[in-house]
Chains A and B, each alone.
Chain A
């Protein structure tokens, strides 16, 4: 039965390949799945992570530490592409039963798209689950079962800003959108780019929309549910204002003039240098900018994207990615994989992660603490969590995220389309995703 299915999936893969893109092969799906030379009487399992610099560095440190314990299990590290190519690699590996015994992948809507009930081993009743924070568990729960443990720190989506620029111009951190725009006018008058945008990396264009979610849910707590059930749309308020904020910044000319071509790294450089004052971003980029200059760690701060009402000001947060075990892991390898995953959810594991790469947000495992001497922005972020002033991002409350959002926000941010048209187009994109996921009511 399963072999038959495998063959069918393989053929299906060929079918897509054949008619499509005879011009080009579709990304790096390849991976070396040979098991390597295993030590006698030991099990070798593979840990698959994305090939981002910090991810690989952290994962390597974890694997080395685990192998040094000589538990009888040897863990091998393997990496895959990031972004949508990586999503496809993971889905293809799961569909063909070729997945590594342990793999790291996003939590929230992307994880829900993996058909967890069929492809992942539930970890609900594992003893260590009591040490995992509930806010993370909701992001890896599908139909009542918990499938993953957290890897890395939580992230915030908001605005990174250059403190020197702010103090020189006598500005304070804005608590409302109106304050934010007033600040921008003053920064622009001083000859500095108020808002950095980097559409050379299209994903960065989504921040104004994604990081605004706290403001939507603060206005209408039921919005995420209604959105999942095909009742709330981006074309109407309060969600439309997320697109309108991006449009307002673009129309006022507050963006750097090379916004269309530069990439994330160049945007961070502009922020650190002070040629740009603010950069809507996810806080995982903190580890990237701290190395750019000696004072960057302390000079760059972070605040949440403000909405209309200062009394409802708060942060939109991203839970970290998860670590999962696929159902294709069987027998001794499954046991070894479970032990490795249990170890990844300990304080030891957190400390090793902190040592490998300076953490950019609080851990989601109880008992894990952040080391001292972290960049200022991490402290700013931590404060929102300490105050409990945090809403999870939409992708952790709803399985539906339209795949074309980054293209649409590029269009709105570049002035190619209006906020209203962009929101309408995104609603259609969301509809397609909901139908693909087979969600009732679409």
Chain B
């Protein structure tokens, strides 16, 4: 069932591939389809199974819940529950209260919705909201596209593959603050290496990457992509490795070109990886703060401010109630974007 749908969407444009994707006609048998299911469910734990697969996983999850009940005594939950309550639940509830107060740390005066009204009147807020969305979506899109392409290259049998994979992943391990400060030096418009190189080659002054109000935000987004691409690539490599080899073999037997293999096998069958990358990178991009703060501090002026940096500045200025209200707003914005998106992505995975 699952395979047939995937085949039929691809079918009309690529007739040969249609044959490939419906493996039975080639007599390869049921083995790959079972394997595919296995690979898919391991990647997409949240996918709601349809059709044939419905019965088994549900039974499995119910029995595993009972298994947990039996294995662990109730006191086992106390430490975790306590930590969760003290460090997460209580502060969260408190923050919802303080969001409605004018708070100096010394005293809090209840002022109703004034903080929220003020936050939305803040002239920089609309700009920062726009910047947050631009930042979140460009970094996420770039990570999906570039991560996929890098993963395809790094999955191919090339020389020094392990080394190249490590090199791609390396920036993920460096702290965002370190990356920010390093790039601030590299991208200095007059004394930085990048513009010196541009000048040496083209004899034209390079742009003020972080100081030109029109491109500062995109420069930071590019740094974010450089830093985060390794993780996206890693997820894609896992996603591509999980595609059963039989599909590739069958495609090659049918004489499919590399582009056709990519378009009809790798792209659709690594969709669970795509949805993971989109969700993770979008959440990361929407609440991104550390990289922006260390490179531009939201500047020049307010031109690369995102919601998180606006909130931090309110906090720095001593507007504790206002910044708490900003956090509540950020929480709502991120939820409002991510929740429907992840629902949609999950439903897409199920269709596949």
Residues of A within 8 A of B88 (CB): 18
Let me know if B90 and A84 touch, CB within 8 A. no
A217-225, A277-285, A316-324, A405-413: which lies at the interface: A405-413
Q: Mark B308-352, 1 if CB is under 8 A from A, else 0.
A: 100111011111101110011011000000000000000000000
Let me know if A26 and B189 touch, CB within 8 A. no
Let me know if A16 and B95 touch, CB within 8 A. yes
Q: Mark B105-128, 1 if CB is under 8 A from A, else 0.
A: 110110000000010011100000
- Considering only residues 398-419 of chain A, those with a C-beta below 8 Å from chain B are 403-404, 407-408, 410-411, 414, 416-417
Verify if B274 is at the interface (C-beta below 8 Å from A).
no
A400–B177 alpha-carbon span in the complex (Å): 33
Chain A residue at minimum C-beta to C-beta distance from B303: A416
Verify if B231 is at the interface (C-beta below 8 Å from A).
no
Let me know if A23 and B98 touch, CB within 8 A. no
**A-B CB pair tally, cutoff 8 Å:** 151
Let me know if B319 and A411 touch, CB within 8 A. no
- Are A24 and B300 CB-contacts (below 8 A) given A18-B88, A18-B95? no
Interface residue tally for chain A (C-beta within 8 Å) = 51
Q: Mark A1-29, 1 if CB is under 8 A from B, else 0.
A: 00000000101111111111111101000
Residues of A within 8 A of B103 (CB): 12
- Considering only residues 70-123 of chain A, those with a C-beta below 8 Å from chain B are 84-85, 87-88, 91-92, 94-95, 113, 115, 118-119
Residues of A within 8 A of B247 (CB): none
Residues of A within 8 A of B118 (CB): 432
Let me know if A20 and B298 touch, CB within 8 A. no
Let me know if A403 and B318 touch, CB within 8 A. yes
Verify if A438 is at the interface (C-beta below 8 Å from B).
yes
- Are A16 and B287 CB-contacts (below 8 A) given A91-B318, A407-B302? no
Residues of A within 8 A of B190 (CB): 257-258, 261-262
Closest 3 CB pairs of A and B: A411-B301, A403-B317, A260-B211
| 24 chain-A/chain-B pairs, Cβ below 8 angstroms | A12-B98, A12-B105, A12-B108, A14-B87, A15-B95, A15-B98, A16-B324, A18-B91, A19-B330, A19-B331, A20-B315, A24-B290, A84-B316, A88-B318, A258-B189, A260-B208, A261-B188, A261-B210, A403-B313, A408-B301, A411-B303, A414-B301, A428-B123, A436-B102
List the interface of chain A (C-beta within 8 A of B).
Answer: 9, 11-24, 26, 84-85, 87-88, 91-92, 94-95, 113, 115, 118-119, 199, 202, 257-258, 260-262, 403-404, 407-408, 410-411, 414, 416-417, 425, 428, 432-433, 435-436, 438
